């Protein structure tokens, strides 16, 4: 009888742990009305300042969503999106179509960085993408922008990979490369830590260039339905960044940083100091 009871207990505990594990995994994808933080209230009207920090705190999109957000900004600028598009909408499509795995890694079906190309085609925009592994100079990146390209850049090595969208209009206007970055704040108690993106200059400390994806728009259908979200004009810093007062510096950085964060000394003048999850 004892053996039967022990066997039953082991089986019950096993199923309990398995069920708990499945629930934990499900919770990572269960935020927002459909499970992907795609509710419009999460994001805001200016797609350039979309941040992974706008997603449900603790979700995969909040913790690891830099590439999803960068691709979403690219899609907004090229016009290959439906009405009401946002990073949560794109994440849901990626997962349902096998372009992102359970560990939140891009799967590169049909080639590196191909997901936005396939997505945009559904909405009348034909794009191509060419990837440039390794370092690229600021001058060469500007050259690509002048040729009409849209750029996503890997600015951290593999161990702490981080991806950003190049601020195309601002970089061309000022003749210097700037990024529209994306990160998460961890310094308040709200369920969502919505951190506004900031313009980051090329190759700041910890933000080297490790890989560049250059997208080209081949053609657009004239009758496509585009997103109604607006983009207020943005101005990059006109003077070298200044160090914020000591009282405004963030506290200790949490352990297990997966995608890098911006040291306070590298923020543009007037930028809000935040820490990243």
Q: Which of 116-120, 149-153, 154-158, 256-260 has the lowest mean pLDDT?
A: 256-260
pLDDT at res. 158 = 80
Encode burial over 59-95: b for 16+ CB neighbours within 10 A, e otherwise: bbbbbbbbbbbbbbbbbbbbbbbeeebbbbbbbbbbb
Which CATH number do you get for residue 76?
3.90.70
Q: Please identify which residue in the block is written with the tokens 């935020």.
A: 31
- The predicted structure's pLDDT at residue 175: 96
pLDDT given at position 232: 52
40 by Cβ neighbours in 10 Å (0-12 / 13-18 / 19+) ranks as: middle
Helix ranges, the chain (H): 2-28, 60-64, 66-78, 87-96, 115-121, 138-146, 168-174
Query: What was the pLDDT predicted at 49?
Result: 85
Q: Assign 4 a pLDDT band (cuts: 50, 70, 90).
A: low
Can you tell me the mean pLDDT for 129-153? 96
Higher pLDDT, 21 or 2: 2
Q: Is the pLDDT of residue 213 over 50?
A: yes
Flag whether 28 is in a domain: no
Res 90 pLDDT > 90: yes
pLDDT in tens, 103-116: 888 888 888 899 99
Q: Indicate the number of domains in the chain.
A: 1
Q: Which structural domain range is residue 98 located in?
A: 35-217+240-266
Total residues found in the chain within this entry: 277
Domain assignment present for 138 = yes
The verdict on residue 6 lying in a domain is no
Distance in angstroms (rounded) separating the CA atoms of residues 83 and 244: 39
Mean pLDDT of 68-72: 96
Q: Give a yes or no: residue 140 inside a domain.
A: yes
Residue 9, in any domain of the structure: no
DSSP letter for 89, please.
Answer: H
Residue 166 has pLDDT above 70, yes or no: yes
% residues pLDDT > 70 (the chain):
62
H/E run at residue 210: none
Q: Is residue 145 part of a domain?
A: yes
Q: Which of 162, 167, 156, 73 is nearest to 120 (CA)?
A: 73
Residues 6+ apart with CB under 8 A from 140: none
Q: 160 near 167, Cβ under 8 Å? A: no
pLDDT-wise least confident of 14-18, 44-48, 190-194, 266-270? 14-18
- The pTM for the full model equals 0.71
- The two tokens of residue 77 are 């600028």
Give yes or no for residue 220 having a pLDDT over 70. yes
pLDDT band at 184 (very low <50, low <70, confident <90, very high): low
Helix (H) / strand (E) containing 128:
strand 125-133
Q: What is the DSSP string of 192-218?
A: S--PPP-EEETT-TT----EEEEEEEE
CB–CB of 219/126 below 8 Å? yes
Q: How much is the average pLDDT of 158-184? A: 89
Structure confidence at residue 114 (pLDDT) = 93
The pLDDT tens digits of the residues spanning 226-246 come to 554 655 555 555 544 433 334
Residue 52 lies in a domain: yes
**Residue 40: inside a domain:** yes
Q: Cα separation of 64 and 86, whole Å?
A: 16
- Token pair for 255: 């352990």
Beta carbons of 200 and 271 less than 8 angstroms apart: no
Helix count and strand count (H, E) for the chain: 7, 6
**CA gap 110, 136 in Å, rounded:** 24
């Amino acid at each position: 009888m004892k053996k039967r009871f022990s066997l039953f207990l082991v089986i019950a505990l096993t199923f309990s742990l398995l069920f708990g594990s499945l629930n934990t995994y499900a919770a990572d994808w269960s935020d927002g009305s459909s499970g992907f933080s795609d509710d419009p209230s999460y994001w805001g009207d200016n797609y350039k300042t979309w941040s992974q920090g706008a997603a449900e705190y603790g979700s995969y999109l909040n913790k690891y969503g830099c590439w999803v957000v960068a691709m979403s900004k690219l899609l907004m600028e090229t016009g290959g999106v439906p009405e009401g598009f946002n990073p949560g909408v794109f994440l849901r499509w990626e997962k349902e179509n096998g372009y992102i795995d359970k560990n939140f890694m891009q799967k590169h079906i049909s080639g590196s960085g191909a997901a936005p190309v396939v997505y945009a085609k559904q909405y009348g925009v034909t794009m191509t993408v060419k990837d440039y592994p390794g370092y690229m100079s600021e001058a060469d990146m500007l050259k690509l922008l002048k040729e009409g390209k849209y750029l996503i850049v890997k600015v951290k090595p593999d161990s702490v990979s981080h991806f950003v969208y190049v601020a195309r209009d601002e970089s061309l206007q000022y003749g210097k490369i700037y990024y529209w970055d994306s990160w998460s704040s961890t310094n308040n108690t709200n369920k969502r830590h919505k951190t506004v993106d900031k313009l980051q200059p090329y190759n700041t400390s910890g933000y080297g260039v490790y890989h560049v994806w250059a997208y080209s728009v081949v053609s657009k259908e004239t009758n496509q339905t585009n997103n109604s979200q607006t983009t207020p004009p943005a101005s990059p810093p006109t003077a070298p960044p200044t160090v914020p007062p000591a009282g405004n510096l963030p506290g200790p950085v949490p352990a297990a940083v997966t995608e890098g964060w911006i040291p306070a000394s590298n923020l543009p003048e007037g930028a809000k100091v935040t820490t990243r999850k």
